[in-house]
Amino acid sequence: MPLRFPMLLRALALMAALACLAPAPALLSRQAAASPVETEIVGGKKVHPGGDPFMVAIQFDTGTGISQCSGTLLDASHVLTAAHCVTDGSKLFTSHTVFYGSVRFTSTRSVGASVVTPHPGFDTMRLRYDVAVLKLDAPVTGPGIGFVKLPAVGNSNASKTGATAIVSGWGAISESGGPVNDLRETSLKIFSFNTCKRTWGMAGLTLTSAHLCAWANNKDTCFGDSGGPLFARTANGVVQLGVTSFGYGCATQIPGVYTRLSNPSVGNFVRRMMQQ
């Protein structure tokens, strides 16, 4: 079962270690051990027309082919996504195109993004600071557009253990499939960071305060959802808590990991990029 992160050597080592983990971490349901690999945003539902207007899909050229990620509109000129959607750690990917304005991919509009900036601390081996900002070639306008809000730097109140969060994306309908046409979302629970850290630690990966974990039985992000949001709906709008970074397969017993946007290094980087 593949690691949802496209860095082959690190993935192979983690896959071997994760395959040897105990059946379920302390806070996971016993049902998780028997849960099937679901399709699309795992355990999700289609987003109704006009919903999640901040969502975008991103296509880009890795040098070996065209890949797709998800992302969010920070404002009319900037998109938030994962660093592994813009670089392999040694070179930047090219030809980023952002699709926006509809829950159906075939009905979206598109704009280029020739300026892409990964976090300077992005580490493909330790899987840290997996966040990037794209500057669009032209501001997006028209119907079906909305923006996410960032959490205050250092404020993790909305991402406390047990809090409900939502993930959204055009991810694959199976681990071997491609992206779907209809945007989907599902809800997860913020997972105990200490338990998540121990779980991934058994695979030789050290999580830091720039990571955030989420999990729910039979629910998850999957391939193609990378770079998309882990978010909360509040009275003041949609607050994005994390950026979809990596996980082990889709809807397994291992919590998914997100880049924490309230982390000072992460949050301050995003805000600086929005000023450019």
Q: Which of 77, 192, 226, 245 is catalytic?
A: 226
- Residues 70, 101 within the same domain: yes
pLDDT of residue 25: 39
**How far is the C-alpha of 276 from the C-alpha of 111, rounded, in Å?**
18
Q: Name the percent of the chain lying above pLDDT 70.
A: 81
Q: Is the pTM value of this prediction over 0.95?
A: no
pLDDT band at 186 (very low <50, low <70, confident <90, very high): confident
- Across the range 81-89, mean pLDDT stands at 96
Domain residue limits at 61:
55-147+267-274
pLDDT of residue 38: 31
pLDDT band at 30 (very low <50, low <70, confident <90, very high): very low
DSSP class per residue in 110-136: EEE--EEEE-TT-BTTTTB---EEEE-
- Residues 192, 243 within the same domain: yes
Residue 130 annotated among the catalytic residues of the structure? yes
- Residues 153, 231 within the same domain: yes
- CATH number where 143 lies: 2.40.10.10
- Residues 198, 127 within the same domain: no
By CB atoms closer than 10 A (0-12, 13-18, 19+), residue 29 is middle
Backbone angles phi, psi at 49, to 5 degrees: -50, 130
Total domains in the fold of the chain: 2
Q: Which of 84, 96, 119, 211 is catalytic?
A: 84
Q: Is the pLDDT of residue 185 over 50?
A: yes
Residue 209 annotated among the catalytic residues of the structure? no
Answer whether residue 61 is part of any domain.
yes
pLDDT of residue 24: 39
Q: Which of 52, 130, 220, 225 is catalytic?
A: 130
**How far is the C-alpha of 190 from the C-alpha of 241, rounded, in Å?**
10
Residue 75 annotated among the catalytic residues of the structure? no
pLDDT of residue 251: 66
Rounded to the nearest integer, the mean pLDDT of the chain is: 84
Answer whether residue 5 is part of any domain.
no
Q: Is the pLDDT of residue 121 over 90?
A: yes
